[in-house]
Structure 1
């Protein structure tokens, strides 16, 4: 279908919202937000305030929930803006934690594999043959070959002086403990997933997780979270497509609140909990989790008849009871 919606001025955008039932108490401020943030980005934050209705699919006769263009009673423009600002600070807090986790995982991998082979990241024999050797039917490449291409691209795009120095002094290949400095979170996650089981177990144990497959899924999900935050995407109530696994009941105490609850695992709060778990291992004296708790507890109230809360993020009831607790980590 051809796109046929016309361009609209900021004033026309605001009038459209008002015609759909949104209350605008300060038009000057609302216009400034539209000019600075953009109508389309804000759409993600007033979407939850839309009126939804049941309708019957004409083909299947099945009832489905459909979104209308109208807003719930008493919805104000500021409701969406406050939600946007809450989400912005949420992303900044998440990035702070993910930076620490990513750097720590780089060291974990480099320290473990580097003692066996200076260039372990370039030698598939140092990895699990089944994991690293799995062939992508579409590309014909093994998982390791695809990862090596990714690494090569990251290396070529790097503007870091240390890359030029090492290549000038020692040749084209960087030792593992230097190479990790050009990796992104995706490269970290992908190499971890190719490592031998004993090596994955060793790193997982450091973070108090006995199931290496669960830990691998945690790191993969945090890589997904990193991509969301880096691209300034809506986070607070997002449907998580790369969901983490969870350990058995009782293995990691806080995880018990999520086990068997698909609706909670599909939302981002569990990823915040994983970040909390790992950053407390990396930085035992951190106050990051306290800053995050304070932010979550300041979830903005709404004027709209439809009330939102951190429960829409997938926060389980009583989460505060374990959020500031200690993490049982390995050595």
Structure 2
């Protein structure tokens, strides 16, 4: 173990350091503005691809410029936005598919029935989570009501404002208007869960028939959907924290179909080792087609890569001539 002794340096000193390491900076004022809103530390992972990393002083390779860094950063930012757009659609769809299957089959409050879940699933935690959300929402509503009561206005206007506040969320609306059952119905409960919670809930369902029916709506076997949801949870967290997605090695790798019964890239069937982001993009392309048949998400991915031809696609696990695969041209 060593003592950390790196000094804090301001933006002008950061620019001097970059130039000393061989980075071309043609417009220092623009570089200063960029470093002011995107920190040097956040930019560091993007520098490495332009540096001689084996050298302790991290000199930049000949010809590397500050614009190269900002272009790569911008590509990664837009890739995250594209990925988040697809994950949002998939997440909303999975909530709906679970609700539309479990509700009609097992009743509006199906999730309170512990027998519908495996014994390893923390069912009590699910109920505690929903109850805590309702209690917190009701407390907030009561505080709003106290503020409304102090307003210098008529009782009719106060009642109207209270009704409006109660409708701001279903977590408020339900405990304000109902006391039995104590928890909100399943279709509302699902909207209160994170993607990670949703993944655990799907995994925890006790009946294989339920899992298969839900996964079938997305053209998948249940184990594959479960694996993909797990991976997408980590990818969503990466994007939500604005972390680097380009050239990232996946910590949780998705299971890939060996003998797919649906359109799937040939490169991912032939080679089962895919530690980078490319298989996740394929997963999202498949899922967005299932939930939105007329989507142009795959085309938007193609446009993004075409707009940044200098970005090394191999660092993301893209196979050569990936766009020639029929998978990317399915209707």
Give the TM-score of the pair, scaled to structure 1: 0.82
Asked if 1:35 corresponds to 2:36, the answer is yes
In structure 2, stretches of 5+ residues that fail to align are 141-167
Change (3 A) 1:23 1:156: farther
Deviations, residues 194-247 of structure 1 (Å, cap 9, x unaligned): 1232222112222222x3211210111111111111111111211111110011
Matches within 5 A, 1:216-295: 216-259=226-269, 261=271, 263=273, 265-295=274-304
Of Structure 1 and Structure 2, the greater helix share is in: 2
Equivalent position of 1:137 in the other structure? none
Deviation at 1:163, TM superposition (A): 1.6
Deviations, residues 30-84 of structure 1 (Å, cap 9, x unaligned): 111111111011112112222133xxxxxxxxxxxx8751222211111111011
Equivalent position of 1:324 in the other structure? 328
In structure 1, stretches of 5+ residues that fail to align are 54-65, 135-141, 302-307
Change (3 A) 1:288 1:173: same
**Displaced runs of 4 or more, over 6 A:** none
Partner SS state of residue 52, structure 1: coil
Deviation at 1:10, TM superposition (A): 0.2
CA contact (8 A) 1:289 1:323 kept: no
What is the alpha-carbon root mean square deviation over aligned residues? 2.2
Deviations, residues 93-150 of structure 1 (Å, cap 9, x unaligned): 11111111111100111111112132222332112x2xxx23xxxxxxx543444455
Give the paired residue count: 296
Change (3 A) 1:169 1:289: same
Change (3 A) 1:110 1:325: same
Of Structure 1 and Structure 2, the greater strand share is in: 1
CA contact (8 A) 1:50 1:68 kept: no
Deviations, residues 257-308 of structure 1 (Å, cap 9, x unaligned): 2236355x2111211111111111111111222112211222252xxxxxx5
Change (3 A) 1:123 1:289: same
Give the TM-score of the pair, scaled to structure 2: 0.82
